[in-house]
Amino acid sequence: MTRKKVFMTRNYHPDATELLKEHYDVDIWQENNTPPYDILREKVENCSAIFIESYDKIDSELLSSSKELEIISTRAVGTDNIDIAAATAQGVLVANTPGVLENACADFTWALMLDIARRISFSDRSVRDGKWTKLDQLPYLSTDIHGKTLGIVGLGGIGYRVAKRATGFDMRIIYHSRTRKREIETELGLEWAENLELVLKSSDYLSLHMPLTPETEHMIGEYELNKMKKEAFLINTSRGRTVDQHALTKALIEKKIAGAALDVTDPEPIPKNDLLTTLPNVVITPHIASASTENFANMAKMAAQNIIAALSNTPMPSCLNPDAYQYR
């Protein structure tokens, strides 16, 4: 019997690759970047499954040429790079990897928060640049985290774990989310804010954890930044386009807020001459919140398991569009 074909857009998932090879013919793009559009089109036309990264765009034009394609499995939680409606209409299942990355992303959010508050990267650069020439703490004075107010926008799995870690710092925690989470409020002592503005005005640290949707694109813009405390810090590990980056740069330069720690930018990678990269009150990392060694492998394994389940007609670990079954 002819084995189904699976295409992987990266070559750095050996365990997931071996798992898929047990069942299918696996073709792997050998460069660590998104395959050219014509290659993706060819694979969409001829493969039963595509294993992608969050950087790989799968649009309606690509999907319109799908003949054999049954599933798109992304090694990510966010799916703003996939036209899910078009996939559903073509009978193509879409899968992601929720849950597995939540602790890694929460840890990293806290790493960013501690870094920007206590000026760790700033101080490290100072030492490496030869500016630490005498024992004087004054140039490195920073801001406490314990006892302050943490505002969370989006209390999903990652936001919940960020809040849980905040209890160890004796923080007041206020949140705004699409749905109120009363059980978590009771568990962690969270305060619910029925509107975003209340969180903006109250927070010493504002951490973003909402998905990128048409409703959340540029959710934090000039108006919202002006509502924040001048002593407040913005931490973003969601998606770059949830923040108006031009407005953020302006707010930082004008000291409307104290600083920002960003794992995501718009665009990605951020251009090396972007003004944001020159500001001393900013920490920027290259979209690596989920990139612990263990989590990187576990996400890939889950993405592979989604493919195996979909192609064998068994329940998938995570299916985002079960309505696609009716069009298959």
Is 268 annotated in the active site? yes
In this prediction, residue 313 carries a pLDDT of 94
Is 13 annotated in the active site? no
Q: Which of 239, 246, 294, 328 is the catalytic position?
A: 239
Those residues whose C-beta lies under 8 Å from the C-beta of residue 271, and which sit 6 or more positions away, are none
User: What are the backbone angles phi and psi of residue 311, rounded to the nearest 5°?
Assistant: -80, -15
Q: Is the pLDDT of residue 212 over 90?
A: yes
Those residues whose C-beta lies under 8 Å from the C-beta of residue 202, and which sit 6 or more positions away, are 149, 151, 174, 193
Question: Mean per-residue pLDDT for 266-280?
Answer: 96
The CATH superfamily of 102-284 is: NAD(P)-binding Rossmann-like Domain (3.40.50.720)
In this prediction, residue 50 carries a pLDDT of 98
In this prediction, residue 1 carries a pLDDT of 63
234 pairs with which residues across the strands? 206, 260
Average pLDDT of the chain, as a whole number: 97
Question: Mean per-residue pLDDT for 254-280?
Answer: 97
Closest CA to 108 of 192, 209, 231, 15: 209
Tokens of 43: 């694979």
Question: Mean per-residue pLDDT for 267-293?
Answer: 97
pLDDT, tens digit, for every residue of 33-83?
A: 999 999 999 999 999 999 999 999 999 999 998 889 999 999 999 999 999
Q: Is the pLDDT of residue 24 over 80?
A: yes
In this prediction, residue 105 carries a pLDDT of 97
Is 180 annotated in the active site? no
In this prediction, residue 327 carries a pLDDT of 81
Q: Which of 42, 191, 222, 268 is the catalytic position?
A: 268
Q: In the chain, where does the domain assigned CATH 3.40.50.720 lie? A: 5-98+293-327, 102-284
Q: Which of 165, 287, 294, 328 is the catalytic position?
A: 287
Question: Mean per-residue pLDDT for 164-185?
Answer: 98
* CATH architecture observed for domain 5-98+293-327: 3-Layer(aba) Sandwich (3.40)
In this prediction, residue 65 carries a pLDDT of 86
Collapsed DSSP state (helix, strand, coil) of residue 23: coil
Question: Mean per-residue pLDDT for 172-187?
Answer: 97
H, E, C per residue of 72-102: EEECCCCCCCECHHHHHHCCCEEECCCCCCH
In this prediction, residue 2 carries a pLDDT of 84
pTM: 0.93
Cα separation of 277 and 273, whole Å? 7
Collapsed DSSP state (helix, strand, coil) of residue 234: strand
Q: Is the pLDDT of residue 328 over 80?
A: no
